[in-house]
Amino acid sequence: MSGKTFGQAVVDVPSTSDGAGMWRLARDSRTLDLNSSYSYLLWCRDFAGTSAVVKIDGEVIGFVTGYLRPNQPDTLVIWQITVADEHRGRGFATALLDSLVRRTGARHLEATVTSDNDSSIAMFRALAARWGAGLTGNQLFSADQFPDDHAAEFLFRIGPFVPVNAPS
């Protein structure tokens, strides 16, 4: 196993064999937008370097997907993050995000949140605090820009991450 261990859990770089499990977690989160099963496989093939999974006994129990902004490659954009219901509150999202910030060497992180997602908002505030980084928030997409009943998305921009401040 190449990844870093947290108790019985291992945080690792995803491979295409993890794509199905990631799709199931996104489906079961009942919070994330569920993308096609194909997109999770493709993400594992082409964006594994900016994504991470956490596994227990080989089963994916959490993941984070991200990419570096093409026009701002020091900025890691978080696309989706979730942890299986029964494993929440144990620091797995923290481990996923911290390992990805370290692995990518990103100076900034961006993520969007909806105003009703308290755990997500708290998770990104805690990330900024752990790294001693700033956090700014602005509306990115208003509800009327979406063709369906999607809520407005607010952009959090966190950084700069300074390696000397990295949480141990």
| 166 part of the interface to ligand COA, by CB under 6 A | no
Could you tell me which residues come within 8 angstroms of residue 94 by beta carbon, excluding any fewer than 6 positions away? 123, 126, 127, 130
Choice between 119 and 139, CB closer to ligand COA: 119
| 82 part of the interface to ligand COA, by CB under 6 A | yes
| 117 part of the interface to ligand COA, by CB under 6 A | yes
Q: How are strands ordered across the β-sheet holding 9-12?
A: 4-6, 9-12, 52-56, 59-69, 72-83, 108-113, 153-159, 134-141
Could you tell me the two tokens for 138?
């602005």
Give the nearest distance from C-beta 58 to ligand COA in angstroms: 19
Candidate residues 81, 106, 128, 158; the one interacting with ligand COA per rule CB under 6 A: 81
Candidate residues 60, 93, 100, 106; the one interacting with ligand COA per rule CB under 6 A: 93
